Chains A and B, each alone.
Chain A
Amino acid sequence: MPADPPLLAVRDLCVSFPARGRMVPIVEHVSLDLHAGEIVGLVGESGSGKSVTAMALMGLIDSPGVRVTGSALFRGRELVGMPQRQLRRLRGRDIAMIFQDPMTAFTPVYTIGWQIDEQIRAHEKLSRHAARARTVKLLADMGVPDPAHMAQRYPHQLSGGLRQRAMIAMALSCSPALLIADEPTTALDVTVQAQILELLRRLRGTHGASILLITHDMGVVAQTCARTLVLYSGRMAETGPTEAVFDRPGHPYTAALLDAIPPLYGPRPDRLPAIDGIPPQPADRPAGCAFAPRCGHAHETCLPAPPPPVPIGPGQQAACVLPAEGTPLPPRGPMTECTA
């Protein structure tokens, strides 16, 4: 792990929304480090607070009464509580975001090129012409065929894959240091998914971007991310180097998620193991471990308070009582190439 200070250091990030007269915590005590040139995966099922975490980092949550606490240092500057005016200067220029659904993420009434130009010109003093030249080059870099012509097309005229490429081109238009990709491949079909992931992986080299990759797809994480953070019900379940997390999951939730991936080799199971039950609603999370109601290993020590993250390996932590009690989960063996 590099020794220099991380590009993004998040500590104890909590986000709560007011509902029925009280504050409901959606994200609780999330901490993560992201170093320059690194791809970190933020994994969790729908409603686990992945997107809210990303939106909070970007300062994009504007619901009335929302409370964001904790700290998020980006290049030593505190993002939490930063005035909107300053945040705006960071957004799009230093931190850019790619959204899940490229179908709806572009304004329908402007051309793709116009929208990319707009972002460039919002941050840099460039002529219309120079901005368009950069737009076309970016689109070409992203593997968009006939970029000059594509820039003049409207979002609805492009396929999902092309639109996502244009979205990535737009995100990279001001060479951001950090790219937050919120489920960038979820809305795409599998072959396009693989192309987009390949593109994201390449960006590290070509554009020097660090990426926070938000996904619910363990396969995507395995292919792409150096380190992984597993969220469950707004809390960190496990974090560590991807390989370690996949080989020796320390949290029963991580293990259950990995079990739910269909094996690529060997006999085909009759039924895939699934996790029983559903995640608790944010308003009535249990006092103890949020996963306890669905966990096969739950016992009385899980119930009074959420277990704190404990180190279980180099750079790996799990918020579970099992390792500390001397009964860690068995290792799953070396990570196999798994795809979604």
Chain B
Amino acid sequence: MMAALLRRTGQTVLVLFGVSVLVFGVFFATPGADPTARIAGRNAAPQVMEKVRHEYGFDRPLPVQYAIMMKKLFITRDLASYTNRGQAVVPEIMRAAPVTASLVCGAAVLWVTVSIFMGTLAAAMKDTWVDRGLMMLGLVGISIPVFWLGQVANLVTQSRYHDTWLFSWVPGLGYVPFAQDPLGWFRALVIPWVVLAVMFIGIYSRVLRHDLVALAGEDFMRTARAKGLSPMRVLLRHGLRTSMVTFVSLFGLDFAQLAGGGALLTEVVFGLPGVGRLTYRALTMLDLPVIMATVMYSAIFVVLANAVVDVVYLFLDPRVRDAR
């Protein structure tokens, strides 16, 4: 068990290194693009160019450039934005991260609980109208684009029905830090949570139901029934517990992807200054350092989340524990 954990950690570090090399290569070592000119800005004086070139080590071999870039990213953290000179990239991401984390964690709690409930209920009532209704609802959830749903939610809660008793509590678009006003934080985020969670509820409940129904034909489910256990216990303790293995791997990937900036559309629609919106802004202005930093940030998240999923796997599935 301990050895498995250590090995996994080692792999994680290796993968992170690989990702950082790749990202650096794509942004700064691509032939034909002179990073100095981009960083120094348009029509920069030769002295400025020289200063930038020296600061970033672009006149030195690639491994040194890589080391300098990583130093600027992780140690001195003074990598500056192209477009807004003087604005350091890393603190900016650090400011955006809690917003994204708040959004994604809340949505994740919501989608995991609701989809487990919906999927299990549908599987328990297989082939009844409850099952069909829930799965239809799930399909609708999957098909609705998140930006459209967000805009509609805004339209309804911010303008059309904002003055009715139902939505008068909804604050204007934007983010309220949790430390400043927990209730305000909750009120600002609850609608984005729901909007972001809808698609995942649809996917996860359908996957879970399918898993549970497929499991019902397994030998061990028959054994459990032959033991004289109640259908509820068979479904929850034997079926649901076993399907959690699939569920967790799916969840790990989606969660990491969102936390690393994948909730971009939701953040833009609801005016939340998160990592996704930062990426979006950087993309529209071709702000290379910011794009690189966010890509790194997102990659780190995905890799770490995968490592966490693998560790959770070790606890969930005894077979994996021994196989490694």
A residues contacting B by CB (< 8 A) are 58, 60, 64, 84, 88-93, 96-97, 99, 101, 104-111, 118-119, 122-123, 154, 156-157, 167, 170
Q: At the interface, yes or no: B60 with Cβ under 8 Å from chain A?
A: no
* Contact for A156 among B224, B225, B322, CB less than 8 A: B322
Asked if B322 and A105 make an inter-chain contact with CB atoms under 8 angstroms apart, the answer reads: no
Asked if B319 and A154 make an inter-chain contact with CB atoms under 8 angstroms apart, the answer reads: yes
Asked, given contacts A108-B318, A109-B316, whether A60 binds B241 with beta carbons under 8 Å apart, the answer is: no
Asked if B228 and A93 make an inter-chain contact with CB atoms under 8 angstroms apart, the answer reads: yes
Please give me the residue from chain B that is nearest to A108 by CB atom.
Answer: B319
* Contact for A122 among B220, B229, B322, CB less than 8 A: B229
Asked if B317 and A109 make an inter-chain contact with CB atoms under 8 angstroms apart, the answer reads: yes
Residue from B219, B220, B225, B226 with most neighbouring chain A CB atoms (10 Å): B226
Query: What's the nearest-Cβ distance from chain A to residue B240, in Å?
Result: 11
A-B contact pairs, 17 of them (CB 8 A): A64-B127, A92-B229, A99-B223, A104-B220, A105-B219, A106-B223, A107-B220, A108-B317, A109-B241, A109-B242, A109-B318, A110-B241, A111-B318, A119-B228, A123-B228, A154-B319, A156-B318
* Chain B contacts for A104, CB-based, 8 A: 218-220
* Chain B contacts for A109, CB-based, 8 A: 241-242, 245, 316-318
Query: What's the nearest-Cβ distance from chain A to residue B291, in Å?
Result: 43
Asked if B242 and A96 make an inter-chain contact with CB atoms under 8 angstroms apart, the answer reads: no
Asked if B225 and A106 make an inter-chain contact with CB atoms under 8 angstroms apart, the answer reads: no
Asked if A92 and B219 make an inter-chain contact with CB atoms under 8 angstroms apart, the answer reads: no
Asked, given contacts A99-B219, A105-B220, whether A170 binds B242 with beta carbons under 8 Å apart, the answer is: no
* Chain B contacts for A156, CB-based, 8 A: 318-319, 322
Asked if A91 and B220 make an inter-chain contact with CB atoms under 8 angstroms apart, the answer reads: no
Q: How far is the CA of A311 from the CA of B222 in the complex (A)?
A: 37
Asked if B220 and A108 make an inter-chain contact with CB atoms under 8 angstroms apart, the answer reads: yes
Asked if B226 and A97 make an inter-chain contact with CB atoms under 8 angstroms apart, the answer reads: yes
Please give me the residue from chain B that is nearest to A84 by CB atom.
Answer: B231
Please give me the residue from chain A that is nearest to B242 by CB atom.
Answer: A109
* Chain A contacts for B322, CB-based, 8 A: 154, 156-157
Asked if A107 and B229 make an inter-chain contact with CB atoms under 8 angstroms apart, the answer reads: no
* Chain A contacts for B225, CB-based, 8 A: 60, 91
Q: How far is the CA of A234 from the CA of B227 in the complex (A)?
A: 26
Q: How far is the CA of A104 from the CA of B242 in the complex (A)?
A: 13
Q: How far is the CA of A90 from the CA of B226 in the complex (A)?
A: 9
Asked if B226 and A58 make an inter-chain contact with CB atoms under 8 angstroms apart, the answer reads: yes
Query: What's the nearest-Cβ distance from chain B to residue A109, in Å?
Result: 6
* Chain A contacts for B220, CB-based, 8 A: 104-108
* Chain A contacts for B162, CB-based, 8 A: none
